[in-house]
Structure 1
Amino acid sequence: MSADRQSWKDIRDRIRDQILDRTYAPGDKLPRDADIAEQFGCARTTVQRAMQDLSDTGLIERKRKGGTHVRANPVTRATLDIPITRLEVEETGAVYGYQLIDRKVLPTPREVAAKFEQVEPNSMLRVQALHLADHKPHILEDRWVSIETAPEILDVDLARESANEWLVRNKPYTRFDLRIYAISADAETARMLATEPGSALLVLERTTWIGTDPITSVRSITIPGYQLLTKS
């Protein structure tokens, strides 16, 4: 492909693909703009425009004297960033805690397969966990992870590192769906979140993909009074 046929979007997509396939992993330093321009046979200004877009969308970080790095917590910004719950808790000044409730490879229920836009269910890793703030329940998480898209998660010690944090750090997404709604706590949910049955609880449901390949779908039930903050 000649230089005059490549737009900055073409170069952006090629670099993004290299990040998503982990040619460049979180924290890695990318080559100089001039070297990328030579590699792809395009103008340096085209690379600079592509890099600016990748920086704006949160995949990379550029520093004047430090070069360009893949973000340690790479995300693709849409309406909201997907937060690392540990950092979210710590930023409030609270002490973060985490409890793994269960992890099993199971056939996905049809409603979960539907969220992934799959016709037929298949086997995925189900992870149930409780996030804590100052030793009190904060978020109850019920998550399904594709072991085809993210097979490495099977080797992660999820009793020590949450699936939320591992996925944000290691599986940047290209698109996601977000649903926000309220429920009344049933007896079991109330017990897990140390609240009263019937309490109004905010629920966040997120499903992410890399291209057309599903990554994860999570249902997060938050404690009464939880606030969701987004900045642009």
Structure 2
Amino acid sequence: MTTSSRLSWKDVRDEIHDAILTGRYAPGDRLPRDADIAEDLNCARSTVQRAMQDLSDSGLIERRRKGGTRVRRDPVTRATLDIPITRREVEQKGGRYSYQLLHSAEEPAPREVLAAFELGTAPRQMQRVEALHLSDGKPYLLEDRWICLETVPEIRDLDLQRESANEWLVVNKPYSRCDVKFYAISADDHVADVLQTAPGAALFVIERTTWIDTAPITTVKGITAPGYQLLTTT
């Protein structure tokens, strides 16, 4: 990979993509370090990182912390799932949006939150936020969120009674990495009461954790009310 002119991240993506398709890098092969590619292509390392993220999102390569970047042995087609602003999601479905802050306080992060953030077990204070998003006055999604105060100290000054953490973070804290999980739970008494459903009801959960580089931003469980539908594009 050589060039004499400055390339955009799309140019870099296409260069790497072509190298994989032509067999220069076979399935399972490890790609050069981002810094080496940047030097070879005469571009910024951030440009390479953006290109690599796009190739990873498309399912062609896989990137692992401290494990480098490899061509996937079995490339996959991935759906596109943006982190939504819940207000807009409700309004796009024709609903009238409203929001209730249920709880907000600095608390010791539990073990599962530290694990989600890949922070080890050292005690840390984080902002715990629980909020209810409604559509036409009916429960739509229960937000159970932890925010890393080292990365997002501004959250302490935000009036969460008036502005949801979901909307503020999407607008003000763009992420470079996002892990997403989908699963179902049985509603406990608290969740059933908030979402106005029966205890033990099966509920769909979207769990997201985001980082800026290696700095954790937030991890959130969006527990949806019965009847919730999720749409993705490919």
Task: Give the structure-1-normalised TM-score.
Answer: 0.68
Specify whether residues 131 and 155 from structure 1 end up closer, same or farther in structure 2 by C-alpha distance, changes over 3 A only. same
Partner of 2:155: 153
Partners of 1:78 and 1:166 lie apart in 2 by: 25
Partners of 1:139 and 1:166 lie apart in 2 by: 17
Moved over 4 A (4+): none
Partner of 1:184: 186
RMSD: 2.8
Task: Give the AA of the match of 2:4.
Answer: D
Per-residue deviation, 1:10: 11
Secondary structure in structure 2 of the residue aligned to 1:4? coil
Partner of 2:4: 4
Partner of 1:162: 164
> What residue ranges of structure 1 are gaps of 5+ in the alignment?
13-41, 58-76
Partner of 2:96: 95
Superposed CA offset, 1:19-38 (max 9, x none) = xxxxxxxxxxxxxxxxxxxx
Per-residue deviation, 1:9: 3.5
Per-residue deviation, 1:126: 0.6
Residue 85 (str. 1) matches residue 73 (str. 2): no
The answer on whether the counterparts of 2:96 and 2:136 sit within 8 Å (CA) in structure 1 is: yes
Superposed CA offset, 1:44-72 (max 9, x none) = xxx9xx99x99xx9xxxxxxxxxxxxxxx
Secondary structure in structure 2 of the residue aligned to 1:173? coil
Task: Give the AA of the match of 1:200.
Answer: A
The answer on whether the counterparts of 2:99 and 2:133 sit within 8 Å (CA) in structure 1 is: yes
The answer on whether the counterparts of 2:184 and 2:204 sit within 8 Å (CA) in structure 1 is: yes
Task: Give the structure-2-normalised TM-score.
Answer: 0.68
Superposed CA offset, 1:83-139 (max 9, x none) = 000000001111001000111111110110000000123111111100000001111
The answer on whether the counterparts of 2:186 and 2:201 sit within 8 Å (CA) in structure 1 is: yes
Q: Please identify, of 179-188 and 95-104, the stretch whose mean Cα deviation from structure 2 is larger.
A: 179-188
Corresponding pairs, count: 174
Secondary structure in structure 1 of the residue aligned to 2:4? helix
Superposed CA offset, 1:134-153 (max 9, x none) = 00111111100111111111
> What residue ranges of structure 2 are gaps of 5+ in the alignment?
13-41, 58-77
